[in-house]
Chains A and B, each alone.
Chain A
Amino acid sequence: MLLRTLSFRNISAIYILIALVAIYSLWVPDTFLTASVWRSMLDNSALVAIVAVGLVLPLAAGAFDLAVGAEVGLGAIVVAWLLTEQGLGPAQAVVLTLVAGAAVGAFTGILITVANIDSFIASLGMSSVVLAAIAWLSDSQQILNLGEGFQDFATGQLFGFTHPVWLALVVGLIVWYVLERTPVGRRIYATGGNLNAARLAGVRTSLILVGALAACGAIAGFAGALASSRLATGDPTIGPAYLLPAYAAAFLGSTQFRSGRYNVAGTLVAVFVLAVGVKGLQLGGAPVWIPDLFNGMALLLAVGMARTQRRARQARAARGVRRHEVKDE
């Protein structure tokens, strides 16, 4: 049992992380091994971590949400717009931003379940609609002067770490609890595992899908609000950059711990592995396009790994079943 838990197949990302740390420690020891580098790395990857954790929900329910990047962008602009144009306080603005993100997610969910549009296409279409909404709200201009108080929201520190790091942990813990420890989580995984079978077992699969996408939208909107707070600016262009890292982390995470299931712990570890990988290369003087290359490669590798793992499981299944199986009509 312990051996299986510690096997490369189960926790490859942890071994990769150890290897990366070892390599960078030898390669660029005087920069890589400083506390400030690690602190900023955690702070930088916190927002991606929040988005990726949110993304685990629809993926577990069997839906792709390609609008997740646009939802981050929407959060960033909506919170800035509410603070400046509408003059709301930070707390109200953030809550309303969450509502906006959830609404976009829920609407995508309705497109999938009621209009019967494939999640891939529905969310791709929605992402374009949301990008248009962002441009309309912001006139494609940055929104400045969000106020001192709001900036503290993302830049303030607690026990040596910035707020986003703690918030990522809190969001991760909540989503983990829901997915792993509650009946709702079980129903989400069942819906993603076999929609028909789940429906015939009495699961309200449409509600689960809409709910998962709405929660993902709200969490992405929250990450967007944090991004605006950190920059003290509502930037209409930041959203799409979150899409690929979040998917890379969620897919890489699905190969960890839970043998093929999208899961929160794996996703958080994956975010961290990717961040360390990129950071070390940057410190070593790698060019600016390295993060894109690294994340893209990681996504492809993760999906490839997931496929291989699945095929290996099926091969084992075939071997195990052949003892009993009877084939006829």
Chain B
Amino acid sequence: MVEVRVENVRKTYGRVEALRGVSLNFRSGALTAILGPSGCGKTTLLRSIAGFIAVDAGRILFDTEEVGGLPPQRRGTAMVFQNYALWPHMTIFENVGYGLRLQKVPADEVRRRVRKVLELVEIGNLADVESRRPSALSGGQQQRVALARALVVEPKVLLMDEPLSNLDAKVRQRLRVELRRLQKQVGITAIYVTHDQEEALALADTVVLMDQGMIVQAGTPQEIYLKPTTAFAAEFLGVSNQLEGEVTDGKLVVGGQSIPYTGAARGRVTVIFRASDIQMEEPSAPPRAGTVALTGVLEESLFLGAHYRHYIRLAGGMVMADSPDLRRPGPVRPVLPVEKVPVYGEQAT
């Protein structure tokens, strides 16, 4: 098992800075997800580690060995691609065995190891892998084969570039579980790039959030989800409500309300909270301690299956609130527990 360390890595394409000094440790034997919107530099980082991209500055280390100058094949990584990249003219068996044949492994050992790894990834029918081509398989099965192809060479690091994004939702959820099981079983250091926050949270031991070529936040899925440190992190992790506000003289002015505020932020701020954290009360109900009460009008409620989503217009914008019951449109008081109202200063966005 290998620990991957990235130190102050930079990469510029023309005038676009894809990586702006990224430093990170990928724990050995753990699955680290790099999460971020498209163009945030996550794929560039992954491909730099694989060796497909030469970085402009910084170091990449596998344990204590610096691999920055090595070509891809000498780094001992194996990659799983979004489009599977299974060679269409080779059979499933030839695809998986290709890496071993390049290493001049004897034919019977290739056969043994390919069979073993295909069993590991649970390719159902092993009988005809030597005659069937990848195109005969479903997308999910193809990605299992691609995973087998990567694992069979026993790489030091497994790199996955949005491996599940081409699959439909159901297959994706099932494969997620299996990927996690497999990675733990093999015990390999794995790096997983995705733009899907749910996927990152479900799969990873550590989630690294990136934006504009920099790391925004790194931590366990729980930390990332529950304690986003910036407005961007909060927003990207699916927090649905965002209000502009201002802090002056110990007061936070937000949504047409002035609320006592003792935090550190000053000036223009962003207030971010989840739809599920809002409770709705009648405007006439008595105020409760430890809450922030806003004033608004419920305009519309949509039934989403698990709950209703209510759209409430405030003086300073629109918020969404989830609740299991249907309410009638009209004046309403959205109420938030104080500890669930993180305030982010302007510079953090």
Q: Are A and B physically bound partners? A: no
Which chain B residues have a beta carbon within 8 Å of chain A's beta carbons? Answer: none
Which chain A residues have a beta carbon within 8 Å of chain B's beta carbons? Answer: none
